Chain A
């Protein structure tokens, strides 16, 4: 499956863009730049995720859209209107805050009704009840926030924002405080609600799995800039930088020398072995680069086995670590040039599980490989497994 793209089109320059548009947005604090010349379009009705490690500027970006921070430079437009300097209480934007920020002195009903009452909206009673039904909190209306569980408080925060039918709903790590099981449940719930109400969601998270399962479009942020933006599959299958390759899932990155880039496929001399990389997956113009391959794309077999087309094989590996995780087996394979590669073998039952010390052959289909710029840090964005 070649990843030709639903590549994101360059920002549409027509004046009447109906989504959320950030242009050259910059925010500097004394001593550092939190967001640096960031431009992006969030299409109306989409579920958009801003993904990045803590301190990458994603929350600052969100706060600028909410009006809680003033941009140092750049503009924010919403449905064709410049809201860069509009007061937060005059923007058709609502936020689900990281710690929910529910009003402790008001009951659930009044928390949810807060925005409607400020705007003197009619029919508060019915709207609040509908909203509480949507988030499955009927019957809790007269409780105080402190009497609810974390998951319930999270849903109140969501209801309190959603009831105002904002042009854009901002979610700042909304699931961060929940335990794993609840978080998975809420991810599905959030996605359901977004589909149901059809509003634009901008979701800030550091959890790549959360971003990938929920969002239509993910923008990976690092050090105040967007590294790459696209659909979850596009980002995962065809990362353009080592940061994206490592931050979204795992990647094996192997140093190589480009020997020929004449055709649709580049040939790369990877530690003495010639491998091919599709031209549209090569993200460097240099002679050197990192050949990248996802661990689950690597085939593993005993020494001398024919894993793929004849000749398409990388010999000389020795298994240095095996961990059996049920659905798959995760191997570390030490290669002749000293590097350890990760290999995930699906546990189909048809392949044996190799013990540590076994000599193995590795192989992968050329169309799954990608090539990244050699100047980038091969460890950028690498992290411990996300739980």
Chain B
């Protein structure tokens, strides 16, 4: 008896080993290095070398200088996540419950954009949102946009790009959750006097919460770190934190600030995710 448990334990560890080794080399080590870098003396450079001075003041410096792009990144990502949630929920619901034999095809279509590069897809939004193209023309015709207003190089374009690029990350977990819902539960709620609206909010929505939580996380986290959309579709006033970090690592050659910004962003996201999961109360559903 004791033998089998021990052996099972050994196999368990062995199965964890490859991933653990991978994470050690490509996550723990770089993470440690990033954290160390964030505490270097800012006066160093790649040429002169860096000096470890346990400079915790770097964090205060970084946030004081760059709180705006930091906040902007979180705001853009948040709005894009909400848009994705609404669009994605409707889509996932339709695919799960209403698509019949087209289900597989529609799912393939959801991930089809991944067959082209992220950069290309974002660049094509430059064309779609261009000043003389139909979308802007049409919105001007409806007087939603003034004659001189534009979409490209505005926060709207950045958020649109984010929502577009991360939509599949929302749809897939939502689909997985909604598809699992036993249709008889919805019938049962109808039998128990729930009209379709009540049936949705009392049965379908709560049962799809695991998908909502994982979908929003999978959308929000990468969207908060993304700066391609802000760079290609935005302007100088839509600079987000990812872009600042990149600039500090490269052009500004201030790795200490770049590293403290990276750490700050990570901690902020971790705290938000933690609070969100607590709030959603889905621990036992996940």
Q: Give the interface of A toward B (CB within 8 A).
A: 66-68, 87-90, 93-95, 97, 99, 101, 103-105, 114-115, 118-119, 160-161, 164
Cβ–Cβ < 8 Å partners of A99 in chain B = 184
Q: Which of B184, B191, B194, B285 is packed against the most chain A CB atoms within 10 Å?
A: B191
* The residue from A66, A101, A103, A119 contacting B193, defined by CB atoms under 8 A apart: A119
Q: Contacts of A87 on B, CB cut-off 8 Å?
A: 190, 195
Chain B residues lying within 8 Å of A93, measured Cβ to Cβ, are 191
- Quick check: B188 and A101 within 8 Å, CB to CB? yes
Of the residues A90, A105, A118, contact of B192 by C-beta under 8 Å: A118
A99, B188: Cα distance in complex, Å? 11
**Chain B residues with CB below 8 A from A161, complex form:** 191-192
Question: Pick the contact of B194 from A66, A68, A89, A97 — CB < 8 Å?
Answer: A89
Establish whether residues A114 and B184, one from each chain, have CB atoms under 8 Å apart when the complex forms: no
Q: Does B203 contact A (CB under 8 A)?
A: yes
User: Which one of B187, B198, B285 contacts A118 once the chains associate, using CB atoms below 8 Å?
Assistant: B198
Q: Which residues of A have CB within 8 Å of B189? A: 103, 114
Q: How near does chain B come to A270, taking the closest CB pair, in angstroms?
A: 51
Residues B191 and A66 in contact, CB atoms below 8 Å apart: yes
* Chain A positions within 8 Å of B198 at CB level: 118
Contact of A164 with B192 in the complex, beta carbons under 8 Å: yes
The tally of residues in B whose CB lies under 8 Å from a CB in A reads 18
Q: Which residues of A lie under 8 Å from residue B207 when comparing CB positions?
A: 104-105
Among all A-B residue pairs, the 10 with the closest Cβ atoms: A101-B188, A118-B193, A115-B192, A88-B190, A101-B184, A105-B206, A95-B191, A89-B193, A114-B192, A118-B194
A89, B195: Cβ atoms under 8 Å? yes
Shortest Cβ distance from B181 into A: residue: A104
Closest chain B CB from A155 CB (angstroms): 16
Q: Report how far A93 CA is from B190 CA in the complex, Å.
A: 11
Nearest-Cβ distance from residue B101 to partner chain A, whole angstroms: 14
Q: Is there contact, CB below 8 Å, between B188 and A95?
A: yes
Q: Which residues of A contact B187 (CB under 8 A)?
A: 68, 88, 97, 101
Tell me whether B132 is interfacial, beta carbon within 8 Å. no
A-B contact pairs, 12 of them (CB 8 A): A67-B191, A68-B191, A87-B195, A88-B187, A89-B195, A93-B191, A95-B191, A99-B184, A103-B185, A104-B207, A118-B193, A161-B191
| Docked complex Cα distance between A68 and B185 (Å) | 12
Contact pattern, B 172-198, Cβ under 8 Å of A = 1, otherwise 0: 000000000010110111111111001
Distance of A89 Cα from B187 Cα, bound (Å): 10
A103, B188: Cβ atoms closer than 8 Å: yes
CA distance A103 to B187 in the complex (A): 11
- Bound-state CA distance A115–B203 (Å) is 13
Least distance between B100 CB and chain A CB atoms (Å): 13
CA distance A104 to B194 in the complex (A): 16
